[in-house]
Amino acid sequence: MNTDVLQAINKELNNIRLRRHQLVFLITDNFKEDIRFVSEGLDVPYVNVNYELSEMLKDLSIKRRPRKVNELLKRIVREKNADTLVLDHTEILFDPQLHQNPVLLLEDISRNFTLIVGWKGQCYNRKLVYGEPEHDEYFTHDNTEGIIIEMK
């Protein structure tokens, strides 16, 4: 299965430079193993967004955090000194206290970098879904500019 995922991503990466947003969402049943395999197979940096962003936000007041998420995530990506990155553990972006639209945030960053994002949710007719409707972090986004690769 890992090689199928890598082949699917490589196919999309060949044409992605022509797109406004260079963003790929990866949805897979074997998520943890596949996302690491992609990073290693493409030889691109792997970013644990939860860890790195929370480290930067922890010293900010709760009020300031929502205004700084975009800037800080861009800094994290920029400091990797790579054109293509794999982003994993993005759950922090759904925290209701941060008041973010994770897809729009990632689309914005993907104008300058190619992002392969592990999406720990579902996709229905190009509608990305994260969480369950009764949960605080529930999120949906219709018609993303990104490419969606589902490997079920």
In the chain, where the domains are located: 2-151
For 2-151, CATH gives 3.40.50
Alpha-helix runs per DSSP H in the chain: 2-16, 31-42, 49-57, 65-78, 102-109
1-31 pLDDT, tens per residue?
A: 578 888 999 999 988 988 889 999 999 988 7
127-130 vs 139-142, strand pairing mode: antiparallel
Chain-centroid distance of CA 92 in Å reads: 11
Token duo for residue 43: 């030889």
Q: Quick one: pLDDT band at residue 103, thresholds 50, 70, 90? A: very high
**Would the pLDDT of 56 be above 70?**
yes
Nearest Cα neighbor of 70 from 39, 24, 111 is 111
Judge contact between 29 and 151, C-beta under 8 A: yes
Q: Are strands 84-88 and 147-151 parallel, antiparallel or unpaired?
A: unpaired
pLDDT tens digits, residue range 125-142?
Answer: 999 999 999 999 999 999
Tokens of 123: 């996709």
Look at residue 31 in the predicted model and tell me its pLDDT.
79
